[in-house]
């Protein structure tokens, strides 16, 4: 969705005061002894490629900014791009290639299955890895080691937002909670149901469906027969698009609500006109904060719209670079200890991590698809 563009003018690369200070600190001797390699990994092909390319754009822009001011201690940084296509075996292979190359940082993945497959490799070799996208609670609840960090809100935070929203907005309506049984969809649906119940609203029905079907007419018929007004779906964007179209084909005008998986142009294209009015939880729009103003302008000058995971990926590089400077070390374990014990100014604001590796950042808001665009829900 956003291939690498031409570099912006060097003088505009770091606009904010904290970024200027960081760049000055990291500038080193003129002669570079070697390249420092970092890996950006995510779906660069397939239905989630737009999200993977957002991460790539953020990392490459942050690396360009560092290199423009001398890199780190005189060493330039280069980016290795890996396409895991949201598949576990691809992610595992990419992780092993990162170790073989001697990469110093990993920024990625997008899909939980990929992250779970690669995480033990990063930990075993002491490689610092920061995901700006994986929301599955288990990524940090069962973290295999201290070099893994998350710059995304957790599914339980997403579920808390969705559940409270459903109870408040649709308290008098019949609500169904669906999930696809996946490591992403099931925890999201369960967290949403718990939060909705805690807010005093009970679901009319709860179902699990098999993902990857070509036709969800039978599921839609059951929902219609049960007079369901609102359907929350924890699942893949392609399946949700088909469920939505099956509901409309059956004459239902039920409101469909989902998670961040629906925040892709692929969902809008797959669902077509049926996507209009679909609601979803999605991450804070970091473009709206003052901390990102300078970098946002730089990205737009380069032809990159800093939406979705672009700015969190940029922040991941900032955190790594600041950790290098603060600790004086390139070792992942040392950097992990430094990041765990400090707070760092970034394009997302000042970021610190809890003992699990979760960032203390703002979580989710409600968005909707309107006229082919994802917009904040006006009543949220």
Distance of CA 371 to the CA centre of its chain: 24
- Res 59: pLDDT: 97
Distance of CA 62 to the CA centre of its chain: 17
Task: Kindly state the tokens that stand for 219.
Answer: 């599921």
Percentage of residues in the chain having pLDDT higher than 70? 90
> Which SS3 state, helix, strand or coil, does residue 344 take?
strand
Is the model more confident about 172 or about 29? 172
The whole-angstrom separation of Cα 257 and Cα 279 is 5
pTM > 0.75: yes or no: no
- Most confident stretch, 149-163, 172-186, 355-369: 172-186
């Amino acid at each position: 969705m956003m291939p690498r563009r031409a570099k912006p003018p060097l003088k505009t690369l770091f606009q904010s005061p904290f970024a200027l200070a960081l760049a000055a600190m990291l500038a080193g001797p003129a002669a570079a002894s070697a390249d420092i390699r970092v890996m950006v990994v995510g779906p660069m092909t397939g239905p989630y490629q737009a999200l993977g390319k957002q991460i790539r754009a953020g990392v490459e822009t942050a690396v360009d900014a560092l290199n423009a001011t001398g890199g780190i201690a005189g060493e330039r940084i280069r980016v290795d791009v890996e396409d895991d296509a949201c598949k576990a075996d691809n992610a595992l292979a990419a992780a092993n290639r990162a170790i073989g190359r001697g990469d110093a940082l990993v920024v990625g993945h997008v899909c939980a299955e990929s992250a779970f497959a690669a995480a033990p490799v990063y930990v075993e070799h002491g490689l610092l890895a920061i995901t700006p996208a994986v929301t599955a609670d288990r990524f940090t609840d069962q973290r295999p080691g201290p070099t893994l960090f998350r710059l995304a809100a957790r599914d339980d935070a997403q579920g808390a937002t969705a559940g409270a929203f459903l109870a408040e907005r649709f308290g008098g309506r019949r609500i169904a909670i669906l999930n696809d049984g996946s490591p992403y969809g099931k925890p999201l649906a369960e967290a949403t149901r718990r939060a909705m119940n805690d807010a005093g609203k009970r679901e009319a029905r709860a179902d699990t469906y098999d993902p990857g079907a070509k036709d969800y007419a039978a599921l839609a018929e059951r929902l219609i027969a049960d007079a369901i007004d609102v359907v929350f779906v924890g699942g893949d964007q392609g399946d949700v698009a088909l469920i939505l179209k099956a509901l409309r084909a059956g004459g239902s005008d039920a409101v469909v609500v989902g998670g961040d998986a629906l925040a892709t142009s692929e969902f809008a294209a797959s669902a077509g006109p049926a996507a209009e009015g679909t609601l979803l939880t999605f991450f804070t729009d970091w473009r709206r904060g003052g901390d990102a103003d300078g970098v946002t302008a730089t990205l737009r000058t380069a032809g990159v719209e800093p939406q979705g995971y672009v700015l969190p990926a940029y922040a991941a590089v900032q955190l790594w670079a600041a950790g290098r400077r603060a600790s004086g070390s390139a070792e992942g374990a040392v950097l992990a200890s430094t990041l765990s014990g400090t707070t760092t100014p970034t394009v997302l604001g000042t970021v610190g991590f809890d003992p699990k590796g979760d960032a203390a950042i703002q979580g989710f808001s409600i968005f909707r698809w309107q006229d082919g665009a994802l917009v904040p829900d006006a009543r949220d």
